[in-house]
Amino acid sequence: MEFNFVLPKDFKSQSVAHLLEQTWLVPRKQRHFLRMKKHFLVNDRAVNDDEMLVSTDRIKIIFDEEDFPLLEVNFGDEKLAEILYEDEHLVIANKPEGMKTHGNTKDEFALQNHVAARLNQPVYVVHRLDEVTSGAVLFAKNQFVLPILGRMFENNEIHREYVALVHGHFQQKKLTINQPIGRDRHDKRKQIVSKTGKMAITHLSVLTDFRQHSLVALSLDTGRTHQIRVHLQAIGHPILGDLLYGKKEHEPRLMLHARQIVLRQPFSEQILEILAPSQSFDARCKQEEDNENQRNRR
């Protein structure tokens, strides 16, 4: 693998060692290979770890196959991979409801396998969505960028916006749910609000009030398992179609969709704002609108 970069104009001067270890989070083993093989070049010359880098420097990094062994991923069906964005280092795909982000076994096919087939190369999971949730999912295209994107998620530098159709109405148009979440000791499938759980913060904005339901937008400061579903159930507004946390009702799907992901491309510094459409989510919301219009005409 060979990667070429031009350091952005607002790049803060730093040493090669700092860039690789602190900024780009290249694992120690791979940093050792770059040093020993002289595979880190600045403006076409090999440099040592103390070399200071400045904006507009041209960087070339070379990794041999043994430096980063390829992940073994069975290729799925490329027709099942809807690609929303792709560059040299990352890809964002639109996951439909009812499909896992990644399989639990080598023989189980999921979005990761289908994206790999579409790109004709392995891809690496950065984050996941529940099987019943649809929307934008980010994958790394190489193990060089994988820890960088992982750290960005941990530092809340990658923002995801969800939409959900929920039961009931809200007194406030905007609110923040700050309630810790932990595992349900009585049902291993579920999470619950718990004083001994981990901090979990969800921001909510009401988009539309229907007769019995509300369409809301949500964003997260934390990424706990089932966070949105648990928080909404805890405040008395479960998501329509949530058979695990909500009411046992006939709905075509869980009405939760990750409609946008926003991040800074870690090497080019470009701000990416990627929207993910969902026909099934929109169709159910359209049904609510049509019902509302019919009532208003009576």
Catalytic residues: 130
Contact call for residues 162 and 258 (beta carbons, < 8 A): yes
Rounded to whole angstroms, how far apart are CA atoms 82 and 114? 9
Q: Quickly tell me which residue has 């070429």 as its tokens.
A: 4
Backbone angles phi, psi at 264, to 5 degrees: -95, 120
Euclidean distance between the first and the last CA atom of the chain, given in angstroms as a whole number: 66
- Return the exposure string of 195-206: e unless at least 16 CB atoms fall within 10 Å of the residue's CB, then b: eebeebbbebeb
Q: Which of 244, 234, 229 is nearest to 189 (CA)?
A: 244
Residue type, 41: L
3-state secondary structure of 64: coil
Q: Which two tokens stand for residue 254?
A: 């869980």
3-state secondary structure of 106: coil
Q: Which two tokens stand for residue 55?
A: 């904006």
